[in-house]
Amino acid sequence: MEKQLNQLDEKLNKLLADLENYSTEQLCKKPTPDSWSAIQVLHHLILSEKYSRMYCEKKLSFNPKLKKVGIGTAIRTKFVNFYLNSPFKAPAPKMISGDVLPTEDTLANVREIWLAERINLAKFIQELPQEYTDKEIYKHPLGGRLSIDGMMQFFDAHFRNHEKQIYRALK
């Protein structure tokens, strides 16, 4: 999981460095009235990671009985990754879309917020008891119960999917 997080961090740092080439105005501009700006997409990704981590922390706070990962977990994980790479789109949960996404922000602020969240995620992963690494801890809104590994795979696929959206918004 730490390797997956390091890879996510590398991709994030590369994206943030590349976005330095754009003005705040460009980053906050919506390509169409019904679409998200690059800044809104970045905030969506931050909130997705944050609320996913918080869900897992809350779930583990009451020592739950969790199912061990199995073939169903693997199928659900593959489904989520397949879906994110497909042309099909599902609406994002309300708590990470729409009016909760700021219409204006700076890249510097986004960087600060996201890097702080990544520190929280790294701490969660480092402190995760070994007995939970093969359990269905995370609940994806579309895919259902996944392992922490499945959650990290989702983060990667979700990031790649929305990275494309960011660059489309900046064209």
Please give the DSSP secondary-structure letter assigned to residue 168: H
Length of the chain: 171
pLDDT 10s digits, 112-123: 999 999 999 999
Of 63 and 31, the structure prediction assigns the larger pLDDT to 31
Cα-Cα end-to-end distance for the chain = 34
pLDDT 10s digits, 34-68: 999 999 999 999 999 999 999 999 999 998 899 99
* Homologous superfamily of the 2-170 domain (CATH): dinb family like domain (1.20.120.450)
Please report the pLDDT score of residue 88 as a whole number: 85
Backbone angles phi, psi at 163, to 5 degrees: -60, -40
pLDDT above 90: residue 124: yes
Please report the pLDDT score of residue 133 as a whole number: 93
pLDDT above 90: residue 2: no
Please report the pLDDT score of residue 87 as a whole number: 87
CA atoms lying within 13 Å on the CB side of residue 151:
28
Strand partners, 138: 146
Radius of gyration of the chain (CA): 16
Average pLDDT over the chain reads: 95
Strand partners, 135: 68
Please report the pLDDT score of residue 143 as a whole number: 93
Q: How far apart are CA 23 and CA 21, in angstroms?
A: 7
Please report the pLDDT score of residue 91 as a whole number: 87
